[in-house]
Chains A and B, each alone.
Chain A
Amino acid sequence: MQDEPTPVELTKSVADFLRNDITPLISGHQAFKLRVAINILDLVTRQLTREEGSDASEVERLRALLGMEGSVTDLNRALAERIAKGEVDLATPGLAEHLWATTMDKLAVDQPNYASYKRELEGGG
């Protein structure tokens, strides 16, 4: 087992340092790049926090849908192939629910402020 503090605590401390202490000192194009850098650290922090749980439920849904075992990457590849071949489509029980759940989990990491995601979270459709 690796030692503590955890990766989440470490990335968060760097992001907070850049946000609170460095941002006021920087301007122009470098300020834009600094904002991108902070966004990356925030994204990584969210992924480290959520990935394990969301990957586990994704794998569980994929196993049920496909009736096979494999890593999350293998299973996604298999699902993509079956959709391409027309063996699985939106009429397949569970597919739409699976894609929605997986996509919502991705947005929670990639872009939690994206308007479509916020709308779907609110249940606004």
Chain B
Amino acid sequence: MIEAELSRSVQRWCPGATGVTGAARLSGGASQETWRFDIVHPGGPVGAILRRSPKGYGAAPTRAAGLAAEAQLMQLAYEAGVPSPRVMHVLTADDDLGTGFIMQRVEGETIARKILRDDEFAAARPHLARQIGGVLAGLHRLPQDKLPELRSRNATQEISEFDRDYHSLNWPKPVFELALRWLRDHDPGPSAETTLVHGDFRNGNLIIGSDGVRAVLDWELAHLGDPMEDLGWVCVNSWRFGEIDKPVGGFGSREEMFAGYEAAGRKIDPARVKFWEVMGTLRWGIMCGGMMQRFREGPDHSMERAMIGRRASETEIDLLRLLAPRGR
């Protein structure tokens, strides 16, 4: 059904295109869908991805930047040489596909366990931490005057927001309270420099090939803030998938990432990175609680959501390892 609408759409903006084939839903919830398909073209098939909110799902959740902003950011990143898919078309009412955009499909792997273990990525792995530093440096220097309108968040505002989110769950967790206290006591205040922050830069949102990072995806939590936030988030233990001695996504050391960042001409503040790692660990724990709440209250009464609720304790042990390491 979606193929008919996609066919009509591509024929309007892609010269030579005659239709589409192989449309398949990839992932996402009810309000955000991702589809893959191939554009039929005399020059050969063109792999494409549709990201959209279907008709009737106009409003983005409060933290999300919105699909139009996402398309704009990906295009800016692409133009600046930050690994990113090329945006081919931003949907209009004439497309009759809802709101969103179509981008070129980048081949590669997003599943962390494969990237961390499969032979195909063996040559890329030792370089990924440093490369990620370089990619983040490029992302943080995207020209501010060209950015779409984005929410702005400093550390103090984030702490209050997480405090509120956590307490709204009515889910007393002494370790989370301890983390909130620690964050308040170590709040570094507004950063000297405010930049674009990706907001969800981690394993799973990076397309990786045998040659390294090929694309940064899922810009929906992009905002303006402390660039060190992205460096802390990518170090959260939950994205290391067992490789706990390699903080940067299970790929390598903080030092390698920092070196890549600094080689691109940007400065590191390790204390701020640590602050954001603690914040990120708590953030994921609270998100697990949100999953539990949605599982209980619907509409998604799925086993997967229920089990993600039980993953909050992983963040509790990681917070203790960060804040109260056992003396050895």
Contact yes or no, A84 B181, CB < 8 A: yes
Q: Given that A107-B314, A111-B314 are known contacts, is A99 also in contact with B175, CB under 8 Å in the complex?
A: yes
Contact yes or no, A125 B177, CB < 8 A: no
The secondary structure that dominates the B interface is helix
- Name the interface residues of B161-194: CB closer than 8 Å to any CB of A: 172-178, 180-181
Contact yes or no, A115 B244, CB < 8 A: yes
Would you call B321 an interface residue if the criterion is a C-beta within 8 Å of the partner chain's C-beta atoms? yes
Of the stretches A12-20, A35-43, A49-57, the one at the interface is A35-43
- How far, in Å, is A88 (CB) from chain B's closest CB? 9
Contact yes or no, A110 B244, CB < 8 A: no
Of the stretches B8-16, B96-104, B122-130, B303-311, the one at the interface is B303-311
Contact yes or no, B178 A90, CB < 8 A: yes
Complex Cα distance A40/B304, Å? Answer: 9
Contact yes or no, A99 B178, CB < 8 A: yes
Most buried by A among B172, B177, B310, B317: B317
- How far, in Å, is B173 (CB) from chain A's closest CB? 6
- How far, in Å, is B309 (CB) from chain A's closest CB? 10
The 8 A CB mask of B288-309 against A (1 = contact, 0 = none) is 0000000000000001101100
B residues neighboring A (CB under 8 Å) = 172-178, 180-181, 237, 240, 242-244, 303-304, 306-307, 310-311, 313-314, 316-318, 320-321, 323-326, 328
A residues neighboring B (CB under 8 Å) = 33, 36-37, 39-40, 43, 73, 76-77, 79-81, 83-84, 86, 89-90, 96, 99-100, 102-104, 106-107, 110-111, 114-117, 119-120, 123-125
- In the A-B complex, the 5 residue pairs with the closest CB atoms: A83-B177, A80-B172, A125-B328, A106-B313, A77-B172
